[in-house]
Structure formats: structure tokens, C-alpha cells
Homo-oligomer: A and B are copies of this chain.
Amino acid sequence: MESYLGKGAEIILPKGGLDEKLIQAKKGGRPLIIKLGFDPTAPDLHLGHAVVLKKLKEFQEAGHRIVVILGDFTAHIGDPTGKNKARPPLSKEKIEQNAQTYLAQLSKILDVTQIEVRYNSEWFDQMSLRDTIQLISSTTLAQILERNDFKQRYQGGIPVSMHELVYPILQGYDSVVIDSDVEIGGTDQLFNIQIGRYMQEVRQKVAQVALCMPLLKGIDGSDKMSKSQGNYIGLTEEPNTMYGKVMSIPDSLLLEYLDLTTNLPKEERQSLIHELEGGRNPMEIKKIIARNIVHQYHGEVAALAAEEFFYRQIQLRSVEVKDYSQFSAQSLGFLPSSVPLIDLIAAIEPERSRSQIRTLVKSGAVQINGGKIVDEHHHFSVSEEILLKVGKRGYYKLVP
């Protein structure tokens, strides 16, 4: 008999551990402490994060206590090897600013007035070399190399700096300090969460339960949603952009997005799936998803306005604009399942150089179905007619 709080999780470790924790919390008349780690170098949250945050919301609504660990200690160090330009050390001011941005985004889903925020510099700033040696001595190299990324890099001859091996131990120690009962993250966080379990165990504490939510695919359908891949929908994006981006996802993602990004009741989702299997146009399901998502983050009025905007911009434009050229992805030599944006534009507007096209994309002057695409590496799938806008005057229809 598993609690509803475990529903939707891809991994719960140990098996039955969540129910056990819930029973003990009830007996003790105390809330569970739910840990959520946050890296203050990356304050922009997207629909992928929201999958985890919505699970936290369920725990919060059931009366449990969310503790956000702000990893300011390591953010303040950055990457001391200097090899990684993406990770310069952040100043205290910048970390504080990112933390505020982060909390503002959290407030779209969670009640942030009920959240406890802890900066891990609180305990790590006090730590000496001697403490550090004591801390890391309880883990072995084999444990740390269980993280696939480390092992593969080591075996593949790609340098792994020694300090990188220490960071997961520090993250794990955060769980010890706050006496975490449950740590929630994506399945890609399982390794770190388990180090936390281990660090508690070696200190004779009851280990936290690992609860991992599935990873949402990005809007290009190729990989998990992430900012660095440019395939994301940010929680604070404009309603019209949000709506347009959802409309651009490949049909193959419909079921996953219905499940992980909407807040439609289960029965409604199931009946939509049923209709889809019965032959209902996927475009209509996509609209329902898009409207629901914009509704969640911007309210009902904005959702309806975004839908109207989408129709006006895209569907009406096909009538208004006279020189509306139509192309077929296949006859241009592309696989409809993965069309590279830059190459496509180069094919249909041969007068532009590739570097001009790249600049155009980065400046936000290219739209697919009304959603701006700023990633120059963007790939998308064409399963039905797609509307492409390039610069001020280029309106194109693209069919498979």
C-alpha cells in the first residue's frame, strides 16, 4: 500500500522506505524534512524542474517541511582549475541575486513562505583541512567512481580533477546537517542522493529516502530538457513564447508532456490519450497541453490570449501573407524527424550567409509556429505543416 506521495516517481530507494518514513512521522507527530538542492550558478528553472517541484508541492500540501540547500559554498569557489569557463567563481552578491531569482520562480509552484532556505557555506566555511580529511575518509574511490560520468571520463582518458570527486561528498553531507528524511530530484540526481544516504548511515543516522522523478525530454525530443541544450521552456517565459514552444514539440512527446507538464486530472488525461489513439488530430491535443501550461504559470486570461495570438500570428497569416512559399523537408534533403534549423534556412534563403543566419537566430528573429528559437543548433521534427518566420519578411510553410 504505497502512499500517493510516491506516485509518479521513477525511483524510490529503499523500496517501501517512503511509507516507513511517513508512518514514523505520523507516530512522532512531526513533519518530514524534504531536501531540495539548488546550484546557484543556474537560477533559470524550466518545465523539467517543475516535474520535481510539483512533487515537492504535494509533500508541502501534506504538511511536510521543504528545506532548500543553496550550494553557495562551491558556487563561490567555481572551477579552480580554470578550465571550465562556464563555471567562474560567483560573487556573494551574484549568488544572493540568483537565490532571489530562484525563489521567485519556486513561488510559481511552491508556497515559499513555508520553505526553509539554508546556505551550505554556513557549515563548509567553518571546515578545516583536518575536518575535510575526516569527512571524505568515510567514502571510497570505488563508491565515487560509481558515478558513470566520472568512471567514463577516467576510463576515456578525459581529466577528472580531484576536487570534482569531493563535491558529491559535500552535497551528501548537506543531508547530514539538515537531518533530511527524503531527498527529491531527477533520476540524474540518484548518485548524489545516495551519497547523502551513505553519509547519514556512517554517522548512525537514519538514511534519507531517495525519490527520483522522471526526466522531461526537451522540446526537440532528442534529449532531456536543459538550458545548455536550448531545448527548454522556462517557467518565467512570456505566455506567447511558452505557447508557441509547446506547439513546436514533436507528436512523439505528447503522452510524456500530458503526464509530466500538465495538471489535468488523471481521468481527463486518460480520455485524451484514448481520443488520440482513436484518431483525433495530435495538433488539438497539443493545444490543450499548451493552454494548460500557460494557464499554470500565467493564469487563465494569459492562456486564452496566447492561444488567440498563436492563431492570429500563425494560422491567419497563412491567408494574409501573399508570397507564402511552401517547402518540403524531404525534397530539400532533410529527414523530417530531425531538421537542422540553420541548414534549412540556408537552403530556402540562399542569399544569406550561414554566419548571417546564425546571428539572425541568436537575435530572436526566427520563429517556428510563433515561438522564438534562439539556439543555433536547434533541430526539430516536421510531422505536419509547420510555419517558419525568418527575419521581417520571410514567411514559409514547411511540410514533411
Contact = CB atoms under 8 A, between A and B. Distances in A.
Interface of A: 73-74, 77, 79-81, 124-125, 127-134, 136-142, 144-145, 150, 154, 157, 159-163, 165-166, 169
16 contacts: A77-B133, A77-B134, A79-B137, A80-B133, A81-B138, A129-B131, A136-B163, A138-B161, A140-B159, A140-B160, A140-B162, A141-B154, A141-B162, A142-B159, A142-B160, A162-B166
A133 B73 CA distance: 11
B127 A81 contact: no
B142 A161 contact: no
A315 B11 CA distance: 78
Contacts of A130: 73, 77, 124-125
A120 B159 CA distance: 29
Prevailing SS type, chain A contact patch:
helix
Given A80-B134, A131-B129, A162 B154 contact: no
Nearest to A79: B137
A161 B132 contact: no
A106 B343 CA distance: 74
Nearest to A127: B129
A45 to B, nearest CB: 27
A137 B160 contact: no
Nearest to A129: B127
B161 A139 contact: yes
Contacts of A128: 125, 127-129
A340 B385 CA distance: 87
A145 B166 CA distance: 16
Contacts of A140: 159-162
Question: Which 9 pairs of residues, A with B, have the shortest CB-CB distance?
Answer: A80-B137, A127-B129, A136-B162, A137-B163, A141-B160, A140-B159, A133-B163, A80-B134, A129-B132
